[in-house]
């Protein structure tokens, strides 16, 4: 499992990690654990600097002719080796879709499963669907399938997905709404409402199946959708076991009992805050929670100005 709010707000925490640097860029783009650095099968496309400030530096073997291609090939070579040799539990011996390194000054990609090993920014889109009833608001909450690597059998947001390289958050959400919840595209486009973005930073905790202590900086675009009478989400792929129409008190109880997967729990907490259910009057740690949901992340989320 992931430890909620587990990465300190104090900037001094960076001293515990190796910082990831891309060519022609003097700002870091990820945090790597010492254990990851020691185990990673680095090639001559990288330099590892063990003295402080500790760094992993990617080289441009194209010498400026095609930096993007050189960087992506460097990552792919190392990750392919990791998958083939099953060096990291997190990779599960599988390849995954390419995810952009947010903030890179040129197109740079990592496989999704490997992003946590390099501690790079990840990007997702999440939607909470709800229905207003005579008994009050009810949320449509799915239970994740038992075979999933993360959060098996746990509760989730109605729809969620990682934003692949080159994709837009809304288009990601529309695709996932059909695949996960059987919600048609025309309905989602008509009723979905963008509600902001969460910027969170967590680490994998002791109950996580893979490596512990991996850094997970995350940008998550959040959406709400009120479903009309008669419309209910239904499982459409193998990732969702079932959907429940849960009252707000039941959702709150499930959050307190840690029945939600950690990332989705943050999205649901944000939903409850925005809908005036969690308020400063009812939650003593309201300000602290808000700060962790909208924290300043240590890495850029867009290319440098002028690039």
Q: Are residue 82 and residue 190 in the same domain, yes or no?
A: no
Q: In the predicted model, what is the mean pLDDT of the chain?
A: 92
Mapped onto helix, strand or coil, the DSSP state of residue 105 is coil
Residue 5 lies in a domain: no
Q: Does the pLDDT at position 164 exceed 90?
A: no
Q: Identify the domain boundary among 118, 151, 182.
A: 118
- Rounded alpha-carbon distances, angstroms, from residue 142 to 64, 117, 174, 203, 250: 48, 28, 17, 24, 13
Q: Are residue 132 and residue 114 in the same domain, yes or no?
A: no
Question: What are 237-275's pLDDT values in tens digits?
Answer: 888 999 999 999 999 999 999 999 989 999 999 999 999
Residue 284 lies in a domain: yes
Mapped onto helix, strand or coil, the DSSP state of residue 48 is strand
Q: Are residue 248 and residue 232 in the same domain, yes or no?
A: yes
How large is the average pLDDT for residues 43-71? 97
How large is the average pLDDT for residues 105-116? 95
Higher pLDDT, 276 or 204: 276
Per-residue pLDDT band at 11 (split at 50, 70, 90)? low
The whole-number pLDDT of residue 216 equals 92
Residue % of the chain over a pLDDT of 90: 82
Kindly give, in sequence order, each residue whose CB lies less than 8 Å from that of residue 12, ignoring residues fewer than 6 positions away: none
Q: Are residue 113 and residue 87 in the same domain, yes or no?
A: yes
Kindly give, in sequence order, each residue whose CB lies less than 8 Å from that of residue 306, ignoring residues fewer than 6 positions away: none
Q: Are residue 147 and residue 183 in the same domain, yes or no?
A: yes
Question: What are 188-246's pLDDT values in tens digits?
Answer: 999 999 999 999 998 888 878 899 999 999 999 999 999 998 999 999 888 899 999 99
Kindly give, in sequence order, each residue whose CB lies less than 8 Å from that of residue 53, ignoring residues fewer than 6 positions away: 19
Q: Does the pLDDT at position 182 exceed 50?
A: yes
Q: Does the pLDDT at position 5 exceed 80?
A: no
pTM: 0.91
Q: Are residue 185 and residue 264 in the same domain, yes or no?
A: yes
Rounded to the nearest 10°, the torsion over CA 30, 35, 37, 42 is -140
Q: Are residue 129 and residue 106 in the same domain, yes or no?
A: no
Whole-angstrom distance, CA of residue 219 vs CA of residue 115: 13
The whole-number pLDDT of residue 307 equals 54
Q: Does the pLDDT at position 32 exceed 90?
A: yes
Q: Identify the domain boundary among 99, 118, 137.
A: 118
CATH assignment at residue 143:
3.90.79.10
Q: What is the CA radius of gyration of the chain?
A: 20
Q: Are residue 142 and residue 57 in the same domain, yes or no?
A: no
Whole-angstrom distance, CA of residue 263 vs CA of residue 126: 10
Residue 303 lies in a domain: no
Residue 273 lies in a domain: yes
When divided into structural domains, the chain yields a total of: 2
Q: Are residue 112 and residue 150 in the same domain, yes or no?
A: no
How large is the average pLDDT for residues 41-46? 98
Q: Are residue 247 and residue 135 in the same domain, yes or no?
A: yes
The whole-number pLDDT of residue 15 equals 79
* Structural domain containing residue 286: 122-293
Mapped onto helix, strand or coil, the DSSP state of residue 22 is coil
Higher pLDDT, 237 or 110: 110
The whole-number pLDDT of residue 223 equals 98
Residue 7 lies in a domain: no
Residue 1 lies in a domain: no
Q: Are residue 145 and residue 288 in the same domain, yes or no?
A: yes
Q: Are residue 79 and residue 137 in the same domain, yes or no?
A: no
The whole-number pLDDT of residue 192 equals 98
Per-residue pLDDT band at 29 (split at 50, 70, 90)? very high
Q: Does the pLDDT at position 100 exceed 90?
A: yes
The whole-number pLDDT of residue 2 equals 38
């Amino acid at each position: 499992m992931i430890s909620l709010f587990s990465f300190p707000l104090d900037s001094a925490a960076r001293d515990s990690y190796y910082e990831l640097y891309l060519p022609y860029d003097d700002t870091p783009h990820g945090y790597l654990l010492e254990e990851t650095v020691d185990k990673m099968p680095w090639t001559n496309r990288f330099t590892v600097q063990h003295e402080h400030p500790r760094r992993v530096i990617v080289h441009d073997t194209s010498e400026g002719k095609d930096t993007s291609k050189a960087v992506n090939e460097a990552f792919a070579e190392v990750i392919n080796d990791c998958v083939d040799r099953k060096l990291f539990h997190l990779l599960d011996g599988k390849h995954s879709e390419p995810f952009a390194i947010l903030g890179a000054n040129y197109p740079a990609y990592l496989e999704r499963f490997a992003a946590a090993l390099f501690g790079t920014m990840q990007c997702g889109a999440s939607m909470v669907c709800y229905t207003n009833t005579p008994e009050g608001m009810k949320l449509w909450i799915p239970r994740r399938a038992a075979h999933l690597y993360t959060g098996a059998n746990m509760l989730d947001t109605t729809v969620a997905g990682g934003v692949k390289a080159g994709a837009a958050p809304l288009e990601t959400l529309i695709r996932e709404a059909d695949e996960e919840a059987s919600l048609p595209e025309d309905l989602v486009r008509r009723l979905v409402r963008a509600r902001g973005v969460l910027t969170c930073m967590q680490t994998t905790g002791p109950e996580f199946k893979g490596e512990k202590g991996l850094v997970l900086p995350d940008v998550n675009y959040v959406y709400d959708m009120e479903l009309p009478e008669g419309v209910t989400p239904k499982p459409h792929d193998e990732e969702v076991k079932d959907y429940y129409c849960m009252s707000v008190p039941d959702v709150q109880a499930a959050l307190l009992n840690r029945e939600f997967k950690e990332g989705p729990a943050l999205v649901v907490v944000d939903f409850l805050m925005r809908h005036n259910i969690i308020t400063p009057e009812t939650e003593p740690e309201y300000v602290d929670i808000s700060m962790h949901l909208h924290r300043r992340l240590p890495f850029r989320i867009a290319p440098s100005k002028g690039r």
